[in-house]
Amino acid sequence: MSLKTGNRKFHGGFYFLSISLLFSFVYSISLIPIYQLAMRTLHTFFFLALAISCASPQVATEVLVETSDYKTIGSVERYDSDIYKLIPEGAVIEVLASGFEWSEGPLWLTTQNALIFTDVPTNKIWKWTEEDSLTLFLEPSGYLGTEKNKKEPGANGLALDLEGNLILCQHGERRIAKMNTSIATPTPDFTALASDYEGKKFNSPNDLVLNNSGQIFFTDPPYGLDDWNPKELDFQGVYRLDTDGTLHLLLDSLNRPNGIGISPDQKTLYVAQSDAQKARYYAFELEENGDVKTGKILLDATASVGKNLPGLPDGLTVHSSGTLFASGPGGIWVISAEGKHLGTIQTGQGTSNCTFDEDERYLYMTADAFLMRIKLN
């Protein structure tokens, strides 16, 4: 990683020559006694100026632009000055890997200093590290059957529970599941945590988030269903799964609930709706037990759908400051807790989801065929 500082060149030699000529000229007339005192003053000033010019390079007149060993694409559009607190001036979008059919579900593994993410159509989970680049983490990830004619069989959203177990939204199996082996030695061995509501199979659980108590909140749109695998529920739900296995339906009024997140104070549940006619981000106030109390539209993105901006509200994550980083038209929308659109990380791709590393130094993004990241403050 290096920095380009524009025309930040050192002109000490030019300063030295200019001041030297001036000094020589004045010194030539210093033989006249009246100039003796002035000469001593100029002599002192000369060496002081020379020292300053050597010690202090010119202030850069261009914005510092971060360069990268990776290919870079896209840009950052800034609509409010608060975004500079989160994304530094000159930050670039790095392409870490590509060639996927639809990348999703990024999750940072602190113990491995690695990122894992899903490729939903291929039924795989990939692992990326700075040292080893890309390796296969798990296959199959979301569908264990033999049917080949499935559009989105793989896992989608991923999370770790309080014990460090991998929790998956399994599109193909239509359930929330736990991987039975450690993330250090992953195998396609799973236990179903929830697979139906009142005896009817889920549609295709899409994304999830855990609160500090270990409760799992997840969305259940129909994207993973196939013609031969019919829908059984007559709604798309947002659910809460308690640590004792009790399932609660929180919302059934959203047409396409998708991305989901929780505020740092655990009092607000955020849900993105992937409906082109009602492309919105919702905020729901939570009771202490995890029930939904009241809700509102945090931000409506419908007017931005289309307009050469690929994508809809999709996956999201919440920064420790309370700011949302949420997939939306054009890339990742940066949204304040009050619902103000601070800016957009323009990936130029349909962008599915995002997550931070442990220290929030980078935001990692899954976008169509790509895995990307951008540096944060």
DSSP assigned state of 44: H
Angle at 186 between CA 182 and CA 192, to 5 degrees: 75
CA-based torsion, 181, 184, 186, 190: positive or negative: positive
- Detail the residues annotated as belonging to a binding site for a divalent metal cation: 104, 258, 314
What CA–CA distances, in Å, run from 7 to 57, 63, 240? 11, 10, 56
Q: How far apart are CA 266 and CA 285, in angstroms?
A: 9
- Detail the residues annotated as belonging to a binding site: 104, 206, 227, 258, 314
- Detail the residues annotated as belonging to a binding site for substrate: 206, 227
Catalytic annotation, residues: 314
* Count of Cβ atoms closer than 10 Å to residue 26 Cβ: 15
Q: How far apart are CA 125 and CA 136, in angstroms?
A: 6
CA-based torsion, 85, 112, 66, 341: positive or negative: negative
Q: How far apart are CA 236 and CA 69, in angstroms?
A: 43
Torsion angle defined by CA atoms of residues 258, 259, 262 and 268, in that order, rounded to the nearest 10 degrees: -50
Give the pairing type, strands 292-300 and 316-318: unpaired
- φ, ψ of residue 112 to 5 degrees: the values are -115, 0
